[in-house]
């Protein structure tokens, strides 16, 4: 890393520390969503649901197909996947466990300009605390997280919904800095995973 980029990172870090002194500007992890897309209903979908239940300890919900796609044998309204949403302190603990799989690294292009980030896990048995079960098999899953500031609920609540100013959204760089400080995440261009 060059001297210029190190200086730029230090300036950003101190700038965010000043901004985060305001309690309404301090970001936090709102939620983590774990998703397994199976593509068909039946026994395989039930096994995917069992995987998510062992990882999170919560009952997953089924996701439905939105379109008819004849080539894949999909009908609108057919269940094709499962997902679980975890919030609060439980989400922080779960994210720490899930990041271990990728050696606490997330790709740079896995972030957007609204505080969302995501990464994939190829085999669920690589998550600490999850053991292999030959009746279930091995599944891969997607992990999506969202970092927000206090007050963002105003945009999504049912009653008296209103708009949020652009400066209240969390930028890509700020989300990356939050994850670096809170979860010791390294932002990289390419993942080099070492399986033990």
Q: What is the pLDDT of residues 131-154, one digit of tens each?
A: 888 888 899 999 999 999 999 999
**Looking at residues 28-57, what average pLDDT do you find?**
91
What's this model's pTM, rounded to 2 decimal places? 0.85
Would you say domain 29-188 falls under CATH 3.40.50.720? no
With contact defined as beta carbons under 8 Å apart, do 168 and 151 qualify? yes
The pLDDT score that the predictor gives to residue 196 is: 42
Domain boundaries, the chain: 29-188
pLDDT-derived band at 7, boundaries 50, 70, 90: low
């Amino acid at each position: 890393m060059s001297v210029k980029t190190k200086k730029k990172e230090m300036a950003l870090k101190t700038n965010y520390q000043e901004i985060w002194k305001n309690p309404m500007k301090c970001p936090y992890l709102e939620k983590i969503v774990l998703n397994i897309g199976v593509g068909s209903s039946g026994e395989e979908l039930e096994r995917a649901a069992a995987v998510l239940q062992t990882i999170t300890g919560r009952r997953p919900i089924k996701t439905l197909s939105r379109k008819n796609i004849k080539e894949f044998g999909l009908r609108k309204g057919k269940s094709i996947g499962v997902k679980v949403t975890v919030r609060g302190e439980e989400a922080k603990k779960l994210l720490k466990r899930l990041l271990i799989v990728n050696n606490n690294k997330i790709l740079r292009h896995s972030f957007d300009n609204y505080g969302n980030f995501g990464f994939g896990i190829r085999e669920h048995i690589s998550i600490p605390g999850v053991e292999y079960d030959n009746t279930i098999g091995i599944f891969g899953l997607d992990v999506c997280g969202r970092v927000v500031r206090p007050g963002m609920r105003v945009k999504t609540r049912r009653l008296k919904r209103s708009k949020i100013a652009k400066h209240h959204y969390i930028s890509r760089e700020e989300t990356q800095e939050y994850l670096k400080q809170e979860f010791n995440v390294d932002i990289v261009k390419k993942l080099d995973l070492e399986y033990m």
